[in-house]
Structure 1
Amino acid sequence: MTKYFRRPAGVKDYLPPQVRKKRRIEKIIGNILEKWGYEEIIAPSFEYLETFVMSGKPGFAEKVFKFFDRQGGVMALRPDITTSIARMVATHYSDHDAPLRFYYMANVFRFQEQRKGRDQEFYQTGAELIGIPGIEADIEIILLASRMLKEIGIKKFIINIGHIKFLEGLLDEIKDDSSLKAKVAQAIKDKNFVWLKNLTETNILKPEIKKTFLALPRFYGGPEILDELIKFPLNEKCKEALSELDKLWRMLKGFNNIHLTFDPGLARGLDYYTGIVFEPPKGNPAC
């Protein structure tokens, strides 16, 4: 096959069967979102590079596909939709009353090391709830995600929940070493006890704090782990995070179709997200 017919690494061809399945899923999800009061929004396929870099999401500058316009401006194919929506809201909705509810279905582009065989173009569906502070917004999004998963045919799943402030509070005990903090956060996320033990041995920590760090990899499960964690010597930031997770659990436990696990080491987007974070189940692509 000549080079003119080669497909670039990290992208896919969607043939009619896959397209039909994709459109069916999009229709189901779109109907649910609109019933919940969310309106579809379409972001540009590219923005100024600075829009994404200034968002604060770590690693964006290294992951974007960049190019120059004819005036010399540095552009980037969107690696994320949330950043574009934040810009759109600031531009077009600054005088609108909250809350605002938007959703999107779009492809995004991120440079990935191809030795790992990862996609460089993939599709995202997301809901953005803007202007409702606190745990009520988290509950709405979790319920919405659960409903969408069920409606597209994923009947059995568990939503994994953590709190950025809990991990931040623990990492605050490591003084003036951002590199070590990042490695410790990754070791906790990976539940790698040996690596975590080696890392904490290199830092002067109080014995009780070191004990807390080393206990984290085994804490994953139901709400009972929140009761266990509160027994450890924790600072106020950690205690506040556990209190919010407990409140979330108490408000959601009445919904029989919501299955949650708690993971205090959930560390995705530590420099980008705030408050409660959650992950849907991982598995094979839906289409």
Structure 2
Amino acid sequence: MIQCPRGTRDFLPDEMEKRRFYENRLRHTAQTFGFREIETPIFEDAELFILRSGPNVLKELYAFKDKGDRDIALRPEMTAPAIRMFVNGMSNDPKPIKIFYFGQCFRYERPQSGRYREFFQFGAELIGSATPETDAEVICMAASMIKELGLKDYKIHIGHIGVLRQAIANAGVPKERTAEVLQKLDKKLYDEARPLLTEMGVKDDVIDSIFTLTETVGGTEVLSKVPGEAGDYLRQVTSYMHAMGVDNFDIDLGVVRGLDYYTGMVFEAEAPALGAEKQICGGGSYTLSELFGGEKVFSTGFAIGFDRILLAIEKEGQVYEPKGIEAYVVPVSDDVRLKSAEIVAALRAAGVASDIDIMGRKMAKAMKYASAIRAKYVVIVGAKELEEDSVTLRDMTSGEQKLVKISELVSSIQ
């Protein structure tokens, strides 16, 4: 028996209904913030992702040569394609440009709980400005999305990449090796970061002070420890967030987002229900367009790991109940099948989600099937009732049934 490839999944109807329900909540929230949906190709030139993340990303890519000998990769994330799309077709549009997207991404890594080789990402980009107000807007939208999905226990951590970059530069780390150090600090890999910094000539007490900086976490009072423009900037961001009613955050100078293109504010959201691997969302302010042949444009964006946040919701005990259909039409005998088809067609035309028995089941088995597909009502079509232009309507929740005129069937169900 052929199985789906390792690290991928099939979604059966009940699971697919649940996923669409939560997807649409995210879409609705984005639209209430004035964002509009886009879609980009699932595969792109591999160079797009190498320019964005560096050559090491090739180890994680599903990359191949197409029949034209072009280097192609399945997208491992969706920020780079979104900005490539902006450079290609939206760079002259009025700013800011507010876009969001949802889709499949692919990374060749070891599958584990909530992490797959084919995974789904929801993200948004506010392109054309990076101010305290726009940064707050983006963080608040992410917070609203998490809340709208029903996740109860989560925390947003806000930092500023400039704080650690300055500390590392002051320590004498060469600019070309900054990203290497930041990636270690981002993952709190201090045992790996220390020899790396020592090799670059950084003294132990300076290394300790850098590590201490990454562990600086707290309320807005922590900003007193953040010197200069970065501290002032974060004070303005958090003031806007308070004004917009978002208070479930802390200042965390250890949030690094270990990628070169981040320029200022960075943030992450965590769900403790997931244990050690608890990140569900991340983003910040950045510039990428100049790497893809466009003018330098400041932007702020984020991505939500859709599979991760659904797992967190599940672990909190939230259960999605599939809706089922509204009506299931059961012909009592063969001589009423044509009329039954006419009735189900009229229900569907009126917007009533309906199905009809096409297997010729006996009444007991038809009722059992109606229960299995979670039908709210069963419409029983019998010859005797049709003489009075009526059908029997059975409420599957209460078990009550009554005779209903066919002309009143839709209003009796809705």
Q: TM-score range by the shorter chain?
A: 0.7 to 0.9
One-letter amino acid of the structure 1 residue matched with residue 250 of structure 2: T
SS of 1:161's partner is strand
- Residues 146-203 of structure 1 show CA distances to partners (whole Å, capped at 9, x for unaligned) of 1111111123421111111111111213435579755643553344666666665555
Counterparts in 2 of 1:116 and 1:224: CA distance versus 1, 3 Å: same
Match of 1:264 among 253, 261, 276: 253
Q: Are the equivalent residues in 2 in contact too, given 1:55–1:83 (CA < 8 A)? A: yes
Match of 2:8 among 11, 15, 24: 11
One-letter amino acid of the structure 2 residue matched with residue 140 of structure 1: E
Counterparts in 2 of 1:240 and 1:212: CA distance versus 1, 3 Å: farther
Counterparts in 2 of 1:164 and 1:21: CA distance versus 1, 3 Å: same
Counterparts in 2 of 1:105 and 1:262: CA distance versus 1, 3 Å: same
Check if 1:132 corresponds to 2:129. yes
- How far apart in 2 are the matches of 1:87 and 1:181? 25
Q: Which has the higher contact order (CA 8 A, sep 6+)?
A: 1
Q: Report the aligned-residue RMSD.
A: 2.8
One-letter amino acid of the structure 2 residue matched with residue 227 of structure 1: S
Match of 1:35 among 17, 26, 32: 32
Q: CA deviation at 1:243?
A: 2.3
Q: CA deviation at 1:260?
A: 1.0
Check if 1:253 corresponds to 2:247. no
Q: Are the equivalent residues in 2 in contact too, given 1:193–1:217 (CA < 8 A)? A: no
- Residues 87-107 of structure 1 show CA distances to partners (whole Å, capped at 9, x for unaligned) of 111111232111111111101
- Residues 81-135 of structure 1 show CA distances to partners (whole Å, capped at 9, x for unaligned) of 1111111111112321111111111011111145899411110111111112322
Q: Which residue of 1 aligns with 2:266?
A: 277
- Segments of 5+ residues of structure 2 without an aligned counterpart are 275-307, 312-414
Q: Which residue of 2 aligns with 1:286?
A: 310
Q: Are the equivalent residues in 2 in contact too, given 1:48–1:76 (CA < 8 A)? A: yes
Q: CA deviation at 1:219?
A: 1.1
Match of 2:19 among 13, 22, 32: 22
Match of 1:84 among 67, 81, 84: 81
One-letter amino acid of the structure 2 residue matched with residue 153 of structure 1: G
Q: Which residue of 1 aligns with 2:364?
A: none
Q: Which residue of 1 aligns with 2:325?
A: none
- How far apart in 1 are the matches of 2:194 and 2:93? 50
TM-score by length of 1: 0.84
Q: Which moved more, 1:158-167 or 1:5-14?
A: 5-14
Q: CA deviation at 1:226?
A: 1.8
- How far apart in 1 are the matches of 2:190 and 2:45? 42
Q: Which moved more, 1:93-102 or 1:38-47?
A: 93-102
Q: Which moved more, 1:204-213 or 1:37-46?
A: 204-213
Counterparts in 2 of 1:15 and 1:261: CA distance versus 1, 3 Å: same
One-letter amino acid of the structure 2 residue matched with residue 34 of structure 1: Q
Check if 1:66 corresponds to 2:80. no
Counterparts in 2 of 1:6 and 1:175: CA distance versus 1, 3 Å: same
- Residues 68-89 of structure 1 show CA distances to partners (whole Å, capped at 9, x for unaligned) of 2211111111112111111111
SS of 2:18's partner is helix
1 or 2, which has the higher strand percentage?
2
TM-score by length of 2: 0.60
Q: CA deviation at 1:60?
A: 2.7
Q: CA deviation at 1:41?
A: 0.6
Describe how 1:214-233 pairs up with structure 2 within 5 A.
214-230=211-227
Counterparts in 2 of 1:214 and 1:23: CA distance versus 1, 3 Å: closer
Q: Which residue of 1 aligns with 2:385?
A: none
- How far apart in 2 are the matches of 1:273 and 1:205? 24
Counterparts in 2 of 1:152 and 1:63: CA distance versus 1, 3 Å: same
- Segments of 5+ residues of structure 1 without an aligned counterpart are 231-238
Q: How many residues align?
A: 276
* Overall identity of the aligned pairs, in %: 31
Describe how 1:42-191 pairs up with structure 2 within 5 A.
42-56=39-53, 59-114=56-111, 118-175=115-172, 181=178, 184-191=181-188
- How far apart in 2 are the matches of 1:189 and 1:17? 38
